[in-house]
Amino acid sequence: MHTDGPDPALPIAVFDSGVGGLTVLHECLVSLPEEDYVYLGDDARFPYGARSAEDLSECVRRNTAFLLDRGAKLIVIACNSAAGAGIEPARELAAAGGVEVVAVIEPEAEIAAAITESGRVGVLATPATVAGGAYLRALGRQHRELTVTQVAAPDLAAIIQRGFPFSEAVVETVRSYCAPLKRARVDTVILGCTHYPLVRPMLQRFLGREVRLVTAGHAVAAGAQRILEAEGLESSNEKEGEYRFICTGDAAAFRELGTRFLQMPLGEVERVELAD
């Protein structure tokens, strides 16, 4: 247990390129309801999945520095593209204050490797995440033989971000992304973007009910809980903690769309400008 680390009364800080990471925050609120949270949606720079690795790394540095400056006892990178490109810079920044960083990719890889029966695992993710190879590396560390099929879905996060209802053209787009995974006969698919759980029923229909879908939320929440317990950073709250939201784009639009992703009211959203 660290005695010179962050104050246990500080919040857990979560960030993403927009509202997608709210699917991860939702699981944290359910699993660790007594904790306080601050969520940063960098929606002015959405989508991260189309950005270069260098650009993503800088986004991660900027967001991490901002949240540490505001006060945080744990940083959660709730964006697969950002985690793949910038987790090491985030950890370097956070380590100076004794703060640890949890990201979405490794926990998903651990679960997928544990539950696949055939060893054939699919990854559905943004082009940046696929090109970066973070899932291939994470799955390669799981000490078992796996055959991995990656599919880049360049439009899917933006489609989900724009909101419902979906047209027949959208349905056909999602079906086309699932086709290579079906041909590869995978039995487990990692949803490698925090937006994707919002279309889980559609994905399950196209992939088949026997295919297991792995999402980040539950695994990240479990990882956060292990760190807090190990470091003695659990909240002393005896009732539900508070959560608040910050965005870099349009606050009203963030609140409206975010309510559907979080499945809970957001309340007031603070808008900030983070310089490039």
Residue 276: count of CB within 10 angstroms of its CB: 8
79 a catalytic residue = yes
Output b/e per residue, 62-83; b: 16+ Cβ within 10 A.
Answer: bbbebbbeeebbbbbbbbbbbb
Q: Which one of 59, 79, 178, 247 is the catalytic residue?
A: 79
HEC letters along the chain:
CCCCCCCCCCCEEEEECCCCCHHHHHHHHHHCCCCCEEEEECHHHCCHHHCCHHHHHHHHHHHHHHHHHHCCCEEEECCHHHHHHHHHHHHHHHHCCCCEEEECHHHHHHHHHHHCCCCEEEEEECHHHHHHCHHHHHHHCCCCCCEEEEEECCCHHHHHHHCCCCCHHHHHHHHHHHHHHHHCCCCEEEEECCCHHHHHHHHHHHHCCCCEEECHHHHHHHHHHHHHHHHCCCCCCCCCCCEEEEECCCHHHHHHHHHHHHCCCCCCEEECCCCC
Write down the catalytic residue from 59, 178, 193, 247.
Answer: 193
- Name the residue type at position 238: E
**Residues noted as catalytic:** 79, 193
